[in-house]
Protein backbone atom coordinates (compact mmCIF):
# COMPACT_ATOMS: atom_id res chain seq x y z
CA UNK A 1 0.00 0.00 0.00
CA UNK A 2 1.40 3.39 -0.97
CA UNK A 3 1.23 6.03 1.77
CA UNK A 4 -1.11 8.93 1.12
CA UNK A 5 0.23 12.45 0.67
CA UNK A 6 -1.09 13.32 4.15
CA UNK A 7 0.62 10.30 5.71
CA UNK A 8 3.90 11.15 4.00
CA UNK A 9 3.67 14.78 5.16
CA UNK A 10 3.08 13.66 8.77
CA UNK A 11 5.98 11.20 8.50
CA UNK A 12 8.23 14.04 7.32
CA UNK A 13 7.17 16.07 10.36
CA UNK A 14 8.16 13.18 12.62
CA UNK A 15 11.55 12.93 10.95
CA UNK A 16 12.15 16.64 11.56
CA UNK A 17 11.24 16.36 15.25
CA UNK A 18 13.40 13.28 15.73
CA UNK A 19 16.33 15.08 14.16
CA UNK A 20 15.79 18.27 16.14
CA UNK A 21 15.48 16.54 19.47
CA UNK A 22 18.18 13.92 19.15
CA UNK A 23 20.70 16.09 17.35
CA UNK A 24 20.64 18.72 20.09
CA UNK A 25 19.84 16.72 23.26
CA UNK A 26 22.75 17.07 25.64
CA UNK A 27 24.13 20.25 24.07
CA UNK A 28 25.48 22.59 26.75
CA UNK A 29 23.12 25.54 27.19
CA UNK A 30 22.91 28.54 29.50
CA UNK A 31 20.48 31.44 29.65
CA UNK A 32 23.08 33.49 27.75
CA UNK A 33 23.61 30.94 24.96
CA UNK A 34 19.99 29.80 24.63
CA UNK A 35 18.98 32.15 21.81
CA UNK A 36 21.94 31.15 19.62
CA UNK A 37 21.18 27.46 20.24
CA UNK A 38 17.54 28.09 19.27
CA UNK A 39 18.60 29.77 16.02
CA UNK A 40 21.00 26.91 15.24
CA UNK A 41 18.16 24.42 15.76
CA UNK A 42 15.87 26.38 13.44
CA UNK A 43 18.49 26.72 10.72
CA UNK A 44 19.53 23.07 10.89
CA UNK A 45 15.98 21.76 10.56
CA UNK A 46 14.98 24.27 7.87
CA UNK A 47 17.71 22.73 5.67
CA UNK A 48 15.73 19.50 5.47
CA UNK A 49 13.38 18.79 2.56
CA UNK A 50 9.75 19.87 2.89
CA UNK A 51 10.40 22.03 5.98
CA UNK A 52 8.70 25.38 5.40
CA UNK A 53 9.22 26.95 8.83
CA UNK A 54 10.62 26.22 12.29
CA UNK A 55 10.18 28.41 15.35
CA UNK A 56 12.15 27.48 18.48
CA UNK A 57 11.31 29.44 21.63
CA UNK A 58 13.99 28.80 24.20
CA UNK A 59 12.68 28.68 27.77
CA UNK A 60 15.41 30.62 29.56
CA UNK A 61 13.17 30.71 32.63
CA UNK A 62 13.40 26.93 32.89
CA UNK A 63 17.14 26.95 32.19
CA UNK A 64 17.64 29.50 34.99
CA UNK A 65 15.48 27.40 37.35
CA UNK A 66 17.62 24.35 36.55
CA UNK A 67 20.79 26.26 37.37
CA UNK A 68 19.51 27.93 40.56
CA UNK A 69 21.64 26.96 43.51
CA UNK A 70 24.22 25.14 41.39
CA UNK A 71 27.79 26.16 40.78
CA UNK A 72 27.57 25.16 37.10
CA UNK A 73 27.06 27.92 34.53
CA UNK A 74 25.31 25.66 32.02
CA UNK A 75 23.12 22.60 31.80
CA UNK A 76 22.34 20.07 29.08
CA UNK A 77 19.59 20.79 26.56
CA UNK A 78 16.42 18.73 26.92
CA UNK A 79 12.95 19.26 25.47
CA UNK A 80 11.99 21.00 28.69
CA UNK A 81 13.99 24.03 27.58
CA UNK A 82 12.24 24.75 24.27
CA UNK A 83 8.82 25.15 22.73
CA UNK A 84 8.86 24.32 19.02
CA UNK A 85 6.48 24.91 16.13
CA UNK A 86 7.11 23.48 12.67
CA UNK A 87 5.35 23.71 9.33
CA UNK A 88 5.92 20.96 6.78
CA UNK A 89 4.77 21.31 3.18
CA UNK A 90 4.69 18.14 1.12
CA UNK A 91 3.18 18.53 -2.31
CA UNK A 92 -0.38 19.81 -1.64
CA UNK A 93 -0.41 19.11 2.11
CA UNK A 94 0.62 21.39 4.98
CA UNK A 95 1.26 19.90 8.41
CA UNK A 96 1.57 22.14 11.46
CA UNK A 97 3.24 20.60 14.50
CA UNK A 98 4.40 21.61 17.95
CA UNK A 99 6.44 20.42 20.89
CA UNK A 100 5.71 21.53 24.43
CA UNK A 101 5.86 19.95 27.85
CA UNK A 102 3.05 17.62 28.86
CA UNK A 103 3.81 17.05 32.51
CA UNK A 104 7.44 15.92 32.58
CA UNK A 105 7.52 14.83 28.94
CA UNK A 106 8.26 16.94 25.83
CA UNK A 107 5.23 15.99 23.72
CA UNK A 108 5.58 16.32 19.95
CA UNK A 109 2.23 16.50 18.17
CA UNK A 110 0.52 17.11 14.88
CA UNK A 111 -1.71 20.15 15.38
CA UNK A 112 -3.31 20.28 11.93
CA UNK A 113 -3.18 18.74 8.47
CA UNK A 114 -4.49 20.78 5.57
CA UNK A 115 -4.79 19.84 1.94
CA UNK A 116 -4.93 16.61 -0.03
Summarised one tens digit per residue, pLDDT across range 29-77 is: 999 999 999 999 999 999 999 999 999 999 999 999 999 989 999 999 9
- pTM here is 0.91
Non-local CB neighbours of 13 within 8 Å, separated by 6+ positions: 86, 88, 95, 97, 110
What is the CATH code of the structural domain delimited by 5-115?
A: 3.30.1300.20
Give the pLDDT confidence of 101-112 residue by residue, as tens digits: 899 899 999 999
Amino acid sequence: MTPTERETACFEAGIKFGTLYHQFAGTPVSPESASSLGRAMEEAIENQPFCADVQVTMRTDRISEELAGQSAEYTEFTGRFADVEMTIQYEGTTVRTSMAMDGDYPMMRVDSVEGE
